Structure 1
Amino acid sequence: MQPTLTSTLVSALLVWVSCLGGRGFAAQQRDIELLRPRSGQRGTTVEVILEGRDIRNPKEVLFYRPGIKAIDFEDMPRRKRNVSLHHGGIVRDRVKCRFVIAADCPLGEHALRLRTAETLSTVATFWVGPFPIVPELERGGFEVTYRGGETVVTANDKAIVQPNNSLKTAQEIPLNCTIAGQIKVTRELDDDYFCVRLKKGQRLSVEIDSVRLCDKAYAESEYDLMVRILDQDGKVLVEQDDSDLHVQDPIASMIAPHEGKYFIHIRQQLFKAGRWIYYRAHVGGFRRPLIAYPLGGRAGAATRLRLLGDPGGTTQQVVTLPEKPGDFTLFPGPKREQPPSGLPLRVSPYPNVLEKPDQVTPVQALPAALNGVIARKGQEDVFRFSVDKKKRYRVRVFARGLGSPLDTRIWFRHVGDEKNEMEADDATWADRGKPVVPNSLQRPELLDPSVIFAPRQEGEYLLGIADMRGLGGERFVYRVEIEPAKDVIHTHTVSWANDRFEINRTAGFIVPRNNRWTTNVYIAPERGNAYEGPLRLVPRGLPDGVTMTAPLFQPGMNGVPVQFVAAPGTRPQSCLFSIDLVRTEGEGKIHATSQAYIPFINHSGGRSWHHAHLMQFALGVIDSSPFTVELEQPSIPISQSGELKLKVSVRRQNGFQGAIDIQPDWYPNGVSGGGAVTIPPEKSEVEYSLSASPRATPGTWKMTMNATTTGGDAYSGVGRVRVSSNVIELAVGSPYVALKFKPSAVRRGQVTEIHCEVKHLQPFKQPARARLVGIPRGVSLVGDQYRLGPNDKKIVFKIRASPEALLGRYPQMRCELTFQEAGQSIRQLTENGVLRVDPAVKD
């Protein structure tokens, strides 16, 4: 078995948690806890305040999408009182800048990181919309704090500028605007009313962004909002809580039945107090179709789409799809009538096949994209196509994940058979090509099947598609992409924290100038991948002066430690990059992506309500670290069941005299350490002990030592400066000897001998010190001068049992051997033996 990262890093995580000063929980801290305002309009400049901890001296904001540039950075005074959050986060520092939003900036969510002189922050988000921002005028009245895990609501002295909690006090707004609203914390539901004026036949559409807008680490149900549209008499015309397109964020649209005032009512579905409950409400006369048919088309081709779900009826639009296959967002309709959020579509390199209602639809050839609508209850669509028995096909359904209410079930059957050869209904994140997302997270996308179909026979097959519940309707649209399975392998990071909370200590890429940073990168083959050989990791997009080295990924591993080095003259900066995978055996391309998962509105168990699925890694080059760390190459291997001490030295610079914590974040399989070791200010060297289990995997493995300052938060790494040592090669070998204990017993008050047979596995030159460990209380070793010579075939220990020795059978007895090799003491523990302690013999 090759070493895996999972077991070693879980062990490392447990060690870190145990080192948190006796706290009953591990505080989970982020650099940025709050970014306000939450959104801005295209073509404008917005002043933004970012709040959190250890974010002073800001330099740059790195955005994952184009269209926004941050300028005019400024440190603001710290909060007079820190704000403590449920998950242990702290809001203390504040920085200000301006976001310049381009006129063609992509709409929607923009993930970002703040680079300061000392770090690249955790992820925050900002949203861009098409409409002018209109602030909700009601503010203040109450605040929320957390004490002992309880939510406490208290009154404050902030005035309510303009109440809007009834039809009478509704805030009048123009059409085609975005309300920047907030559910203020009260002891009861906060009702927000807004008023617009419409002519008869005019469309009114309202989209709420609340769950999707939130980038808070932990929350409960306080972001679950509902929306109602009422006429001037207070009659409810439309009421929505959720939506197929935006899940927990509602969408409401209607045609005005008469001229006059109309009211928009926004509130929580159920009351739940909370902090910073912001929302965006897009209000306008824009069209609001909810899904398109077909759900995509061929790359670069003009495709005619039917737009479904708008209250004004079904419309059609011809769209020229992009040349690059993958996901695509369409903003339907004429430019002045486009909604603030788009319709998700698929772009494929092969042709569309549209269903023929009420008959079997022939497919001329694979690969192809099959499209249809389960328009009525109990309907089942069937397609017919030829397959090559020698091929495997990746079959991926797109329906619920693209806003369709269809809960898809599919089956495959050879035309000559009566029984189905394969059936499928749901999928896993790995099946959907997103292995970085934890399995505990549930999303509509997982209701779309994704399988590898390996036909057992040559010839023609039938593919059936239906709704699991037997439901149907005009928006029950689906798309099934069938293509030959490819070699697809993904790289991703894992934040080894509770609920996959983001911590840069284990998942970041933050390299000080003239120093090193090491992060574990995981390798995840997709189902259907046929290549099982070694892989070489190749970076793409690193800035000048930064290099990456990584060991060869071997079959059986699930990841490798990857080191980044920034040369002395490298300019501080940040960038997005990817890691490609190149096969070292045979021919063929590995299709690879680089992924990161950031949960928001998290709940216990990792069931977040919102998350960012990022398709590139982020790297920051920061100012020089006040120290470097060097790891001495060991001249001898660590043996199974043995120990080895690694010599670590630090070089302080620029007057730094603080303590430094050291610890590896990766170990070969079966090798472990003793947790973090602190190098005190007055010292520059320390030894770090490694232990190998009897089943440690033999071989030579690359290792590094990570070192951090001791300020800030040890668990997350926020507020600490972290660097990595040079890479060493750690050899794991078999032990020097194997001992076999003969059955042994001793009576109380007597002395006896314990005989061990010795089998030599590795040569050694000097006699090894030997002692027994794991013997019960009241039993002691007679003498302390036991030695095992290089040629000895046995060793005999003498033990004495006191009159009070504990009676019983003790299977934990072991022999501890200390060898001297290359100036180092190497400790080995042998396999267990059994000692029985019997009563004394009566006279």
Structure 2
Amino acid sequence: MRAFIGPILSLLICFVLSSGLVSADPWIAGVTPRLVGRGTTSEIVIDRWRHEAIDVLFYPDHSVGPDDKSGDQTGIRCVGTQFDSKKQRLICQLEVETDCRPGEHPFRVLTAVGLSSMGTVHVGPFPVIDEEETKANTNDTPETALLIDSDITVRGTLSNSSYEDVDCFRVAGKAGQRLSVEVDMVKMGDDLRWNPVPDGYDSVVTILDPSGKRIAKNDDSSLNRQDPLLSMKLPVDGDYTIILQRSMFIPEAREYAIHIGRFFRPLAAYPLGGPTGSSLSVELLGDPLGPVSQTISLPKSSGTFPLMGDAPSPLPMRSSPFPNVLESSGENETVVSAIPVAVNGILANSDETDRFRITVKKSVPLQVRVWAKALGSPVDPSIRLRPVDPSGELGTIELQADDATRPERDIFGGQGDFPDTFDPSVIWTPKQDGDYVLEVFDPRGVGGPTHVYRVEIAPPENILHIGLPFEGYKPERPRKTSLSVPRGSRWTVKLSLYPAQGSNITGPLDFSVEGLPPGVRMLSSQLPSLQSAWPMTLIADEDAPLSASIIQIKAQPAEGGDPFVTVNQQNLQRVSYSHYPWRNIRVDRFATAISEPAGFEVILDAPKQPLMRGSELTIPVRIVRQPWCDEPLEIQCEFAPPGVGTSPAEIIPSGESTANLTLSANASAKLGSSPLYVMVTTTQARGGRENSSVRGDTDQGSERVRVSSEVINIEVAEPFVSLASEPQSVRRGNKIKYRWTVKQLRPYEGQASVRMLGLPVGLVAVGPEPTIDKTSNEVEVELEAHDEALLGLVGELNCEVRFIVGGEDILLRTGSGKLRIDPRLEK
């Protein structure tokens, strides 16, 4: 039965998603074509779309480059949109600058109901032509191959036909020339369904010489990962055939871009980086015509940057504020004069181990971070650190590291496949003063001329990463991953705070936002000490224009605290496999927008009394509706103090305007003042704008509107009293006055009633509920045991103490008692 139901459910889920019935958000299910050329005006189409577009917002290209020209430029801009409501698609005209960076560019679409999920489009460096396979299998053999010029990008599709689709291309070449082929298919993957089949993205390229003999083949590569990459020196004059096909056929159509030409295609740079703002001489390795020396200018800022050349994809490199040390050729070890430092080497031979001698101080922590796989190198690195004894011999291994976790590589709010995690990164605290030897090796025992690596060794830097709420193994929900603030309303987001490896950030911290749209302001109370999450509120003026922008959230120490660096980070999956992200895209900014008015306001009043540990407190929530807003609303608390539970989501029926939020603090809830807010959401999707009407036309798409309350402060305090008891007993048919000792903890006025909880069947409280006041040291609850009461020991008895303070009910649960029930005495 399970084997039968599983596939049926998978098909049903795929059908529902493909029908656009699951998400009412402005959700980008896919973009076609996936690639456009530089220096062109091109059209892209977003299918299954139900919204008029106000703007298309591209993320700035903040990947630092050698010329530091990234700034806030995107290289792409949208110059027009057309919404086809009948075909449910959005057509966007894009202008791509001639110097736009090749590769993937993320964007969001602004609608009246908010920002869309993230879409991406790729830019190629060469003129683009289409495969134009008007009939199936018309270019599937060398004889029918599509004839192309050199340095051309072909956009095509591997079909979903029952026969394996093969696409062939023919290009002329001369002996001694270079022929380079690079495929974009996995990296252009755009399958955001719940249950896709990513294997269909994995392709292989074969090159045939003019006689039809296979002379090269590639499936995966270190630099291009699952996408093929080939570059070779041609042996003879003639026409060469390039064959593109799947590694394993899957009956799903897949778009691709194949770049074919004579372009220079190095596979690695050595060294892999250098000091920020300097000139660096590098060897570009791996091209079939031999290595090339080049001097490059490094960015003025630290980080990973793309070294762009003639090829469609760059060589990733590092810019760091550390001097370079290159391995000494032919020496057993390389002496490093000082730390911090970045050591660089090549594991050129099988089973090679490179050694660097460093001098350190005992108990002074250092971050040792390796860069290899993360920069497209074929090296799978491991490291060892050994002390050097007075005789010069190497001692016992003090530290050994291989792979790393995502947090160790400062990757937060994402799941899935990140090549960085193959590179170790550790915080090492030496156990002694003096010399150590760092050993770098590949445990697989492989080596080669492009097996480059880099190890940065320095005291750990204080860095705080800020992210948005993350939901693992799920397609993006734009109302949570982008910030759309209704006019005249509040939007509160729970910021995720992640200290980087080795960071020591305490607090208090202040927050600020750069780049907000006109008419939007930010409110955030000071964070008293670093914790994993903190609320930030955006407020849009009633007359704020519908617009969007890319923002950066910053944190800084308050009251003269130690400085640190703030990094924004958002990782969004592009292809999932069995709910496991197979490809991700990372951005270092967030998107925010102003949308149409919500039609309602949320009022949450701060309680007059503290919330006691072990108690419950009910807070009223009021909704102020516009006359036209009578729809059901859902209320849910999204942020509460640690150790404080909240009542589940509640529906406020149509036309009603009040609800209650119940808070319950456990015995270890964090004492002191902490923020709290609720989010109120429409339960049904709402249409876009029509003639300035908020309710609008459903053909324009729909979105669940979200509005937050103000962020209020909740004071968690010790309880007024605590109750305790000794074990007692009662016989069936008898009564007992169960005694509780009252310990006064905080003064209070008035009386509080006491009710016992946890009484089993047959054991009942009789008489009026007893009361206590601030002078009480004991309270008795009269119990009667009936004949149906089970004999034996009853545990987990406790009391609910009801206080009325300032007109508010406060329910305190306290005490832990036991009672033995004995049989009746025989007469």
Measured in 2, the distance between the counterparts of 1:680 and 1:589 equals 49
Measured in 1, the distance between the counterparts of 2:153 and 2:76 equals 19
Task: Identify which of 167, 172, 181 aligns with 1:192.
Answer: 167
Match of 2:6?
none
1:44 matched to 2:40: yes
Task: Identify which of 101, 104, 122 aligns with 2:99.
Answer: 104
Task: Identify which of 121, 129, 147 aligns with 1:126.
Answer: 121
- Give the partner amino acid of 1:120: L
- Give the partner amino acid of 1:307: L
Task: Identify which of 741, 745, 749 aligns with 1:757.
Answer: 741
Task: Identify which of 218, 224, 237 aligns with 2:215.
Answer: 237
Match of 1:368?
341
Measured in 2, the distance between the counterparts of 1:208 and 1:343 equals 16
Match of 1:802?
786
Measured in 2, the distance between the counterparts of 1:703 and 1:209 equals 46
Q: 1:724–1:62: structure 2 CA closer, same or farther, 3 Å change rule?
A: farther
Q: 1:175–1:810: structure 2 CA closer, same or farther, 3 Å change rule?
A: farther
Counterpart contact for 1:60–1:116, Cα < 8 Å: no
Counterpart contact for 1:241–1:249, Cα < 8 Å: yes
- Shifted more, 451-460 versus 628-637: the winner is 451-460
SS at 2:29's partner residue? strand
1:576 matched to 2:584: no
Measured in 2, the distance between the counterparts of 1:62 and 1:358 equals 50
Deviation digits for residues 31-60 of structure 1 (CA, Å, limit 9, x no counterpart): 111111111001111112223465444433
Match of 2:489?
515
Deviation digits for residues 309-357 of structure 1 (CA, Å, limit 9, x no counterpart): 122222222222232232121123xxxxx11111111122333222111
Offset of residue 840 of structure 1: 4.1
Task: Identify which of 389, 398, 408 aligns with 1:416.
Answer: 389
- Give the partner amino acid of 1:195: R
Deviation digits for residues 602-648 of structure 1 (CA, Å, limit 9, x no counterpart): 234x6422101211122222232221111112111111111111121
Match of 1:480?
455
Match of 1:828?
812
Matches within 5 A, 1:686-697: 686-697=659-670
Task: Identify which of 206, 217, 224 aligns with 1:246.
Answer: 224
Match of 1:547?
521
SS at 1:646's partner residue? strand
Measured in 2, the distance between the counterparts of 1:119 and 1:234 equals 55
Match of 2:281?
304
Match of 1:327?
304
Measured in 2, the distance between the counterparts of 1:404 and 1:36 equals 31
Offset of residue 98 of structure 1: 0.9
Match of 2:413?
436
- Shifted more, 784-793 versus 475-484: the winner is 784-793
Measured in 1, the distance between the counterparts of 2:614 and 2:363 equals 48
**TM-score under structure 2 normalisation?**
0.88
Measured in 1, the distance between the counterparts of 2:474 and 2:559 equals 34
Offset of residue 557 of structure 1: 1.9
Counterpart contact for 2:273–2:318, Cα < 8 Å: yes
Measured in 2, the distance between the counterparts of 1:785 and 1:44 equals 82
Measured in 2, the distance between the counterparts of 1:184 and 1:416 equals 64
Match of 1:155?
none
SS at 1:705's partner residue? strand
Q: 1:758–1:407: structure 2 CA closer, same or farther, 3 Å change rule?
A: same
Offset of residue 247 of structure 1: 1.3
Offset of residue 573 of structure 1: 1.9
Counterpart contact for 2:517–2:593, Cα < 8 Å: no
SS at 2:569's partner residue? strand
Q: 1:556–1:616: structure 2 CA closer, same or farther, 3 Å change rule?
A: closer
Measured in 2, the distance between the counterparts of 1:780 and 1:789 equals 24
Counterpart contact for 1:634–1:646, Cα < 8 Å: yes
Gaps of 5+ in 2: 1-20, 62-73, 687-700
Counterpart contact for 1:288–1:309, Cα < 8 Å: yes
Measured in 2, the distance between the counterparts of 1:351 and 1:556 equals 33
Measured in 2, the distance between the counterparts of 1:350 and 1:818 equals 64
Offset of residue 161 of structure 1: 5.9
Q: 1:319–1:776: structure 2 CA closer, same or farther, 3 Å change rule?
A: same
Measured in 1, the distance between the counterparts of 2:513 and 2:323 equals 34
Match of 2:31?
35
Measured in 2, the distance between the counterparts of 1:688 and 1:464 equals 59
> Alignment length, in residue pairs?
772
Offset of residue 295 of structure 1: 1.0
SS at 1:510's partner residue? strand
Counterpart contact for 2:57–2:549, Cα < 8 Å: no
- The share of aligned pairs that are identical, in percent, is 35
- Give the partner amino acid of 1:138: E
Measured in 1, the distance between the counterparts of 2:244 and 2:768 equals 80
Measured in 2, the distance between the counterparts of 1:265 and 1:832 equals 76
Q: 1:769–1:269: structure 2 CA closer, same or farther, 3 Å change rule?
A: same
Measured in 1, the distance between the counterparts of 2:561 and 2:733 equals 73
Deviation digits for residues 637-682 of structure 1 (CA, Å, limit 9, x no counterpart): 1111111111211222262221211111111111111211222222
Measured in 2, the distance between the counterparts of 1:740 and 1:128 equals 71
1:279 matched to 2:253: no
**TM-score under structure 1 normalisation?**
0.86
Q: 1:166–1:588: structure 2 CA closer, same or farther, 3 Å change rule?
A: same
- Shifted more, 800-809 versus 371-380: the winner is 800-809
SS at 1:665's partner residue? strand
- Give the partner amino acid of 2:275: R
Offset of residue 755 of structure 1: 2.0
Deviation digits for residues 394-445 of structure 1 (CA, Å, limit 9, x no counterpart): 222111211111122223334436313333222222222323344xx34332
1:265 matched to 2:243: yes
Match of 1:621?
594
Counterpart contact for 1:436–1:597, Cα < 8 Å: yes
Offset of residue 174 of structure 1: 2.9
- Give the partner amino acid of 1:409: S
Counterpart contact for 2:51–2:702, Cα < 8 Å: no
Task: Identify which of 653, 656, 677 aligns with 2:629.
Answer: 656
Measured in 1, the distance between the counterparts of 2:314 and 2:764 equals 78
Counterpart contact for 1:507–1:520, Cα < 8 Å: no
- Give the partner amino acid of 1:267: Q
Match of 1:15?
none
Measured in 2, the distance between the counterparts of 1:175 and 1:680 equals 66
Deviation digits for residues 701-732 of structure 1 (CA, Å, limit 9, x no counterpart): 1211111111149xxx9821111111211111
Offset of residue 99 of structure 1: 1.2
Measured in 2, the distance between the counterparts of 1:531 and 1:61 equals 34
Match of 1:603?
577
| Poorly superposed stretches of 4+, deviation over 6 Å | 26-30
Q: 1:464–1:785: structure 2 CA closer, same or farther, 3 Å change rule?
A: closer
